[in-house]
Amino acid sequence: MFKKKIFLISFLFFLIFLFSGCSISFGGGGGTQNDAGVYLSTTGGGNWKHRALIPSISGEPGNIARTPVKDLAMDPNDHKAVYMGSVGKGLFYTYNIDKGWNQADTLPQKTVDAVAVDPESKCTIYASLGNRVFKSTDCNRTWSPVYYDDNPEVRINSIAIDHYNNQRVYIGTTRGDVIKSRDGGNSWQTIHREDSSVGKVVISPHDSRIIFVSTQKEGVARSEDAGRTWVNFEEKLERFDNSDRVRDLALCNARSGLVFIATSYGMLKSEDGGETWESLQLITPEEEAIINSVSLAPEDCNKIYYITNTTFYRSLDGGESWTTIELPGSRKGADLLVDFQNPQNLYLGMGVEPKEKKY
């Protein structure tokens, strides 16, 4: 009888050990909190649900609950296809968020700084890892390097694909270069240089010849001829202290010429493509408004969303008033993505560091 009890107790501990190990986490960069990865809101930011599952045919599912997010991107023609560039663990993607994530396992499992999907071919994806850009033409099955920078300290922060001619691809680097390919990544040419790291390259949804570039210390630049000539708006932003330090940039899909930038001053808006700027009245003082990501509702750019380290902000009236909601978990907000098909669906990527209490 005693031996039978010992056997049952041992078997019970074995089951506890077995099932406690069924959720395999991808660690990286930010401690042990299981609240990194991606959250989804289907209520325009009213509440959030963690979406971290990685299904497995082996019966032992994994998750990305400890994997910090670097970049989120959506297929321009399929709102269910979402890509997540991670810190230190490669690229993840889903074709249905309710069914979980997949890992692009043939791509190096390193930090993916930027990802972009070809607007004409959902199986063509570009991803940047450090000083290299990789391309897949078979829906993440295989990847080939298409750009390599000879400086290993340079990183490619942004990738943008021309929606009128998908052979035109633009990348922005930490060295301050805007580099263009006219043949789908086979060859490249530097078309613009800034004295500061390029944070984002964004192509106008209304005219693909119009390109905006944000920089870390030199404000915003614009080209209206696909990169042949450029205008820098640093002087036009001078009256806003520290507005040359741009953290994010968003263009309005519903209205041509409407541009929003998140800066160290706060949030600024231009209604004429950057020629004039005005500030939005935020709840927090300008010097405390550390905005990590800004997004706009595609059908109505009076709906503005942004995240700081700790808080989600939403305005439904063009910035006249704001709703604030504490971000889920303990990480800081890293990236925000709005579903163009169902604008009430928002994707929130949580970053590498625990969020700081003062923001």
Cα 226 → chain centroid: 23
pLDDT of residue 60: 72
Can you tell me the distance from the alpha carbon of 339 to that of 74, in angstroms, rounded to the nearest whole number? 8
Closest CA to 278 of 268, 286, 287: 268
7 exposure class (CB count in 10 Å sphere: 0-12, 13-18, 19+): exposed
**Residue 4: which residues within 8 A CB-CB, separation 6 or more?**
none
Residue 24 burial (C-beta neighbours within 10 Å; 0-12, 13-18, 19+): exposed
The string over 10-20, giving b where at least 16 C-beta atoms fall within 10 Å of a residue's C-beta and e elsewhere, is eeeeeeeeeee
Looking at residue 338, its pLDDT comes to 98
**AA identity, residue 212:** F
**C-alpha span between 343 and 39 (Å, rounded):** 15
Amino acid present at 63: N
C-alpha 251/C-alpha 204 separation (Å) is 7
Which of 261, 292, 274 has the alpha carbon at shortest distance from 71? 292
pLDDT tens digits for range 342-359: 999 999 999 987 766 544
Q: Which helix (H) or strand (E) holds 147?
A: strand 144-148
pLDDT value at residue 352: 81
The span from the CA of 72 to the CA of 17, in Å, is 35
3-state helix, strand, coil in the chain (%, to 5): 10, 40, 50
Helix (H, G, I), strand (E, B) or coil at 34: coil
- How many helical (H) and strand (E) elements, i.e. helices and strands, does the chain have? 1, 31
Per-residue CA distances from 285 to 81, 246, 266, 323 (Å): 37, 17, 8, 16
CA distance 337 to 294: 9
Give me the pLDDT at residue 143, please. 98
Going from the C-alpha of 266 to that of each of 99, 262, 306, the distances in angstroms are: 37, 6, 11
The pLDDT, as a whole number, for residue 314 is 98
pLDDT in tens, 81-124: 999 999 999 999 999 999 999 999 999 999 999 999 999 999 99
- Report d(CA 140, CA 133) in Å as an integer: 14
Domains and CATH numbers, the chain: 24-354 (2.130.10.10)
The pTM for the full model equals: 0.89
Q: Which residues of the chain have pLDDT under 70?
A: 1-32, 59, 286-287, 355-359
Give DSSP secondary structure letters for 192-250: EE-SS-EEEEEE-SS-TT-EEEEESSS-EEEESSTTSS-EE-TGGGTTSTTTTSEEEEE
